[in-house]
């Protein structure tokens, strides 16, 4: 399916656009198509995420305190759906069907927002949206992995994550443009978001192809992936490092705590992280293919340690914000897609979606545990002590990961 690697010989000159063009040409059409689906879908979903608090409080008069609980509590439900999604995708090598169902479910949730006016109804729509996201993630990553040759997994995931992040950056801009143009008619935001979601599903249906192969999908087969030492070791490392990975919202709160800037700029902090992620996803993916994915993955956590160090250091002002957000985005660029690129080839094609689902779920659960621990540490000891503890934990987890690391990598 993918373009032959020999094509790189006659690739275009090394101008920045040339390099980007060459990178795009060198990844499988399926990966570019999946990247486009993610980009369009993220525009749609981030439009809604960006206006949701405003809509609920100003638009329909709910208290955000009543809405806040919706935000973090469904991790368990999505984890379960994610495992199911991986399982089903493997069963008949129907990655496209399962991922498409996930995208379609989220797409249906957009117009449903127009009809939901009570907390339970909005809660139900948000849960369905997240279930769709949980369902599609593992089959999509498995399809990216299956569509790319083993030596170019890092490049493929880098291109996909860059396109995905570009959509996440565009979404809020489109939403606020629509809100400004219509003088705050939220229904227009939901209608435009629905159109993007429908387009995303259509691009998937038209341009993404399944990779046929042996079928898997029994629970026993998926679990047998964990008996492969290399994959099991990577799962263990991802979980260990995940326990020391402080969630994004805490990083932004710590920055705000250090700087005491106006809360109106608070929503712009994630833009900094996402921009660095966008710019560095492809270079990090290429570096991972060249220098070794394991090295880049572990190196990414050194960047995270750098973020913690900056938060504890006397560095202040704009330097702190720029350095911390750049490192934070680089951390994601070096770890998010790279972990999938690292683990994918270690899994047999017939267990790839299920195996990746286990890895992603383990990592997400570890990070959730870290949030709980970090929140408690912040309350008991204070913010800098909590960051100090997270940094120590990260060093310990990194050392353990060095011992545990897969021998093949």
Partner 1 sequence: MIKTRLTVLLTAIIVLAVIATGYTLHAAGRQDSGGGRSGAFDLRTPGQLVFRDTEMGPNKDHLAAVPARDPGGARAVSDIACARFYAAAGTGVCLRNRPGLTPSYDAVVLDASLHETHRYPGTGIPSRVRVSAGGRMAAWTVFVSGDSYGGAFSTRTSILDTRTGHLISSLEDFSITKDGSSYRSPDVNYWGVTFADDDRFYATLATKGKTYLVQGEVGAHRVRTLHENVECPSLSPDGTRVVYKKKVKPVSSGSPWRLYALSLKTMQETPLAEPRNVDDQAVWLNDSTVVYALPGDFGTDLWTVPADGTGAPRELVGKALAPAFS
CB of 392 to partner 1, least distance (A): 20
CB of 199 to partner 1, least distance (A): 6
**Are the CB atoms for 373 and 273 separated by under 8 Å?**
no
- How far is C-alpha 291 from the geometric centre of its chain's CA atoms? 23
Question: Which tokens in the block code for residue 312?
Answer: 């504890």
Whichever of 13 and 65 has its CB closer to partner 1, that residue is 65
CA geometry: angle 5, 6, 9, nearest 5 deg:
115
Which residue in the block uniquely carries the two structure tokens 């400004």? 180
DSSP single-letter state for residue 208: -
Q: Output 235-240 pairs: Cβ under 8 A, ≥24 positions apart.
A: 235/343, 235/358, 235/359, 235/362, 236/404, 237/400, 237/401, 237/404, 237/405, 238/339, 238/359, 238/362, 238/363, 238/366, 239/362, 239/363, 239/365, 239/366, 240/366, 240/397, 240/400, 240/401, 240/404
Whichever of 44 and 165 has its CB closer to partner 1, that residue is 44
Treating both helix axes as pointing N-terminal to C-terminal, what angle do 248-259 and 269-291 enclose, rounded to 10 degrees? 130
Exposure string (b/e) for 76-105, b if CB count within 10 Å is 16 or more?
eebbebbbbbbbbbbbebbbbebbbbbbbb
Whichever of 3 and 191 has its CB closer to partner 1, that residue is 191
Whichever of 80 and 266 has its CB closer to partner 1, that residue is 266
CB of 207 to partner 1, least distance (A): 7
Which residue in the block uniquely carries the two structure tokens 């705590």? 257
CB of 7 to partner 1, least distance (A): 19
CB of 134 to partner 1, least distance (A): 20
Whole-Å CA distances, 47 to 20, 42, 53, 73, 207: 27, 8, 12, 21, 24
Whichever of 129 and 141 has its CB closer to partner 1, that residue is 129
- Contacts to partner 1 by CB under 8 A: 53-54, 57-58, 60-66, 68-69, 71-73, 117-120, 123, 172, 176, 178-185, 187-188, 191-192, 195-196, 198-199, 202-203, 206-207, 249-250, 252-253, 256, 262-268, 375, 378, 383
CB of 276 to partner 1, least distance (A): 18
Whichever of 25 and 228 has its CB closer to partner 1, that residue is 25
CB of 181 to partner 1, least distance (A): 6
Whichever of 16 and 120 has its CB closer to partner 1, that residue is 120
CB of 49 to partner 1, least distance (A): 12
Whichever of 271 and 302 has its CB closer to partner 1, that residue is 271
């Amino acid at each position: 399916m993918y373009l032959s690697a020999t094509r790189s010989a006659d690739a275009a000159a090394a101008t920045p656009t040339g390099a980007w063009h060459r990178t795009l040409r060198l990844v499988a059409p399926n990966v570019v198509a999946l990247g486009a689906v993610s980009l369009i879908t993220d525009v749609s979903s981030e439009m809604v995420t960006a206006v949701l608090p405003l809509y609920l409080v100003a638009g329909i008069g709910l208290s955000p305190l009543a809405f806040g609980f919706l935000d973090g509590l469904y991790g368990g439900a999505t984890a379960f759906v994610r495992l199911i999604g991986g399982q089903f995708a493997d069963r008949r090598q129907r990655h496209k069907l399962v991922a498409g169902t996930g995208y379609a479910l989220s797409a249906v949730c957009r117009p449903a927002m127009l009809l939901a006016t009570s907390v339970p109804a909005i809660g139900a729509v948000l849960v369905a949206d997240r279930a769709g996201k949980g369902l599609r993630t593992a089959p999509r990553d498995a399809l990216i992995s299956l569509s790319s040759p083993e030596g170019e997994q890092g490049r493929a995931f880098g291109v996909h994550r860059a396109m995905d992040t570009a959509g996440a950056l565009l979404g809020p801009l489109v939403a606020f443009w629509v809100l400004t143009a219509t003088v705050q008619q939220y229904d227009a935001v939901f209608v435009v978001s629905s159109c993007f979601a429908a387009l995303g599903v259509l691009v998937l249906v038209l341009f993404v192809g399944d990779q046929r192969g042996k079928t898997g999908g029994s629970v026993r087969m998926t679990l047998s992936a964990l008996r492969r030492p290399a994959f099991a070791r990577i799962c263990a490392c991802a979980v260990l490092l995940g326990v020391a990975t402080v969630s994004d919202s805490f990083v932004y709160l710590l920055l705000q705590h250090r700087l005491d800037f106006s809360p109106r700029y608070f929503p712009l902090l994630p833009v900094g992280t996402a921009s660095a992620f966008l710019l560095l996803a492809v270079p990090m993916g290429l570096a991972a293919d060249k220098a070794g994915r394991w090295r880049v993955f572990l190196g990414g956590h050194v960047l995270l340690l750098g973020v913690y160090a900056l938060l504890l250091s006397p560095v202040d002002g704009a330097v702190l914000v720029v350095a911390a957000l750049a490192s934070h985005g680089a951390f994601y660029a070096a770890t998010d897609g790279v972990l999938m690129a690292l683990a994918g080839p270690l899994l047999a094609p017939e267990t790839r979606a299920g195996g990746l689902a286990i890895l992603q779920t383990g990592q997400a659960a570890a990070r959730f545990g870290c949030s709980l621990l970090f929140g408690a540490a912040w309350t008991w000891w204070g913010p800098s002590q909590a960051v100090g503890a997270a940094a120590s934990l990260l060093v310990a987890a990194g050392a353990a990961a060095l011992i545990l690391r897969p021998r093949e990598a």
